[in-house]
Amino acid sequence: MSLRVSTSLAQQVRTEAEKAFPEECCGFLIGRVPKDFHKHGRAVVVEEIKALPNGWEADARTHRYQIDPKIFAKTEAELSPRGLAIVGLYHSHPSVPAWPSPFDLMMAWPCFSYWIVCVRAGKAQESRSWMRSEDGQNFVEEEFVEE
């Protein structure tokens, strides 16, 4: 399975991540929902991103992010007439690797791609993408393809 992103969108996310440092940035990944979205093995193509404010209090924003659930519904309603949907979330990991935290797992939705970009000393580093396992017990890494 894979998450496919154009270099220009990937660059936008890296810029967001660098601007937010030492806090986490976050946002929606938007695209067309593949028929086999729920299956491990599916490919998701990101067509747009939507940067969002990190909803935590300032002292927690360095290690977690939160998205207002009302923004989910509003964004889905705006995207649906265009045949698009939220297919995942991106967020940054300031000064820690691009591996999901236990908190990320607790908050993870099924099917979504979770793209994490690591930021060290204010510079965006590697990107990795993850999908929650069906039983919700862990994440499975998917291929991150920048093209």
The footprint of Zn ion (CB under 5 A) covers 101, 104
Task: Give the whole-angstrom CA distance, residue 52 versus residue 50.
Answer: 6
Which residue has tokens 């601007």? 19
* DSSP assigned state of 65: -
Query: Minimal distance in Å, beta carbon 127 to Zn ion?
Result: 13
Residue in the shown chain whose Cβ atom is closest to Zn ion = 104
Do the Cβ atoms of 144 and 128 come closer than 8 Å?
Answer: yes
Identify which of residues 74 and 103 has a Cβ nearer to Zn ion in the complex.
103
Cis, peptide link before residue 22, omega less than 30° from 0: yes
Query: Minimal distance in Å, beta carbon 63 to Zn ion?
Result: 8
Identify which of residues 2 and 101 has a Cβ nearer to Zn ion in the complex.
101
Cβ–Cβ contacts within 10 Å for residue 30, how many?
21
Query: Minimal distance in Å, beta carbon 112 to Zn ion?
Result: 13
Q: Please state the three-class secondary structure of 78-106 as a single string.
A: HHHHHCCEEEEEEEEEECCCCCCCHHHHH
Identify which of residues 25 and 44 has a Cβ nearer to Zn ion in the complex.
25
Identify which of residues 41 and 69 has a Cβ nearer to Zn ion in the complex.
69
Query: Minimal distance in Å, beta carbon 99 to Zn ion?
Result: 8
CA-closest candidate to residue 125, choices 101, 106, 144:
144
Query: Minimal distance in Å, beta carbon 15 to Zn ion?
Result: 19
Identify which of residues 42 and 91 has a Cβ nearer to Zn ion in the complex.
91
